[in-house]
Amino acid sequence: MKIDFFQIQSGCPCMYYITPSISVFTFEVVLIISGNLSFLNWLTIVPSLACFDDASCSWLFSNSRNGVKWKVREVENEIKHSKQPPRLGCYMRRVFNLSLAGLIAYLSIPVVQNLLSQRQAMNTSFDPLRLVNTYGAFGSVTKERTEVIFEGTYGDPHGSTAKWEEYEFKCKPGNVTRAPCLISPYHYRLDWLMWFAAFQNYQRNPWLIHLGVKLLANDEDATSLIQNNPFEGKSPPRFIRAEHYRYRYTKIYSKEAKAGKWWKRTKVGSYLPPISLDSVKDFMKQMDYTMPRIRKMRKH
C-alpha cells in the first residue's frame, strides 16, 4: 500500500498538465478508498471542480447553431481575429499580476527553506499577511498502529482469576476477526480520538478516565458511541482498565488469515490501571465532571 501510494503521489503532478480536473478527482477517489480519511478528501474534490475547463465540459451542451457552445465559439473567434491594440487596462493588469507573483515568490522563500529542512514546522504561517504558509494534514505518518482497548470486570482487578471483557468501538481495530470498516465520508470522532490517545498516555488524555467512568455506570450516552458493550442488559462492571496493543494486518494465506483474522496484535503494556467509581471521585471533582448515575440491570 505504501509503494502504491507513493507511486500515485509521484505521478499525479505530471497528470496536472494533461487532465488536471480528472487527475485531482481520481487521486482523491484513490485516497478515499485506501486512506479512509472521513470527509477530508471529499472536501478536496469540491475546489477541484473549478479545474474543469470549457473543453472538458463541452459535452454537456448542444452542438446546434443556436446553442451556447456555438455562441461561445463565435465570441472566441472574434477575439482571436481582432486587431485592436492592447488597452491600458491590459498592461496594468499584467503589471499587477507580475508584481503579485513576485511578492508571493519572495514570501515563499522561508516556506521552501522549511520544506527542505530536516526539521519541518507543520501548519505554520511565515508572514503577517498570512498569504503563504505550510500545510500538512499529516506531517508524519506512523509506521505502527497502536490501540487503546477498554476492558471491564466484576472480579478482583489484581487477581489472576478476573475475567476481563472487551468493549468494541464502532470502527477502530479491536476484535482481530472484524474486518476494517469503510466510513468515508462519515467521521467517528471518538474512534479518531482514541487513535491519537494511543500515541500518548492517559495523563495527557484525562477524558479517557471520564469515558471509563461513564462505562462503569453503563451510561447510555457513552455506550451509544461504541459498537458493543459486553455489560449491556447486565449490571455494570466493578472495574475498568485500558490495555495498550500493537496491531498489524495478517498476511494473505497466513495461518491467522485462514483462521478468519484480519489483525494480529501484541500487547505493549498497561495503558490505564484499573479504576472504580469510588477510586475516581476526587479526580471527577477536580476536573468538575459530574458523576454519572448507575444504570441498573434490566428486568426481563
The pLDDT, as a whole number, for residue 115 is 80
93 domain-assigned? yes
Domain edge (last residue) among 95, 113, 141: 141
Grid coordinates representing 123 are 501548519
For residue 300, is it within any domain?
A: no
State pLDDT tens for residues 243-285: 999 999 999 999 999 999 999 999 999 999 999 999 999 999 9
Q: Is 110 in the same domain as 221?
A: no
- Residue 110 in any domain: the answer is yes
Q: What is the CA radius of gyration of the chain?
A: 28
Tell whether 114 is covered by a domain: yes
Task: Indicate whether 75 and 89 sit together in one domain.
Answer: no
238 plus 280 within the same structural domain? yes
- Co-location of 78 and 152 in the same domain: no
pLDDT of residue 288: 95
Residues 137 and 177 in one domain: no
What pLDDT does 71 receive?
Answer: 84
In a domain, 222, yes or no: yes
Residue 291 lies in a domain: no
- All 3 cell numbers of residue 170? 464502532
* Rounded Cα gap, residues 181 and 166, in angstroms: 19
Question: 124 and 184 in one domain?
Answer: no
pLDDT one digit per residue (tens) for the chain, 300 residues:
444 555 555 555 555 555 666 777 888 888 888 877 888 889 888 888 777 777 777 777 777 777 888 888 888 888 777 766 667 888 899 999 999 999 988 988 888 888 888 887 776 777 666 677 766 666 667 788 999 999 999 999 999 899 999 999 999 999 999 999 888 888 999 999 999 999 999 999 999 999 999 999 999 999 999 999 999 999 999 999 999 999 999 999 999 999 999 999 999 999 999 999 999 999 999 999 999 988 765 543
Please tell me the predicted confidence (pLDDT) of residue 282: 96
| 75 plus 104 within the same structural domain | no
Please indicate, yes or no, whether residues 91 and 150 belong to a single structural domain of this protein. Answer: no
Decide if 256 is inside a domain: yes
Is residue 273 located within the same domain as residue 160? yes
User: What integer pLDDT is reported at residue 32 of this predicted model?
Assistant: 86
Structural domain span for residue 215: 145-286
State how many domains the chain has. Answer: 3
* Boundary of a domain, candidates 102, 121, 141: 141
**Given 141, 164, 186, which residue is the final one in a domain?**
141
CB pairs under 8 A, 24+ apart, for 105-112?
107/131, 107/132, 108/132
Does 118 lie in the same domain as 207? no
What is the per-residue pLDDT for 290?
92
Domain shared by 253 and 274, yes or no = yes
Residues 199 and 165 in one domain: yes
Does the residue 174 lie in any domain? yes
Q: Which of 217, 202, 228 minimizes the C-alpha distance to 148?
A: 202
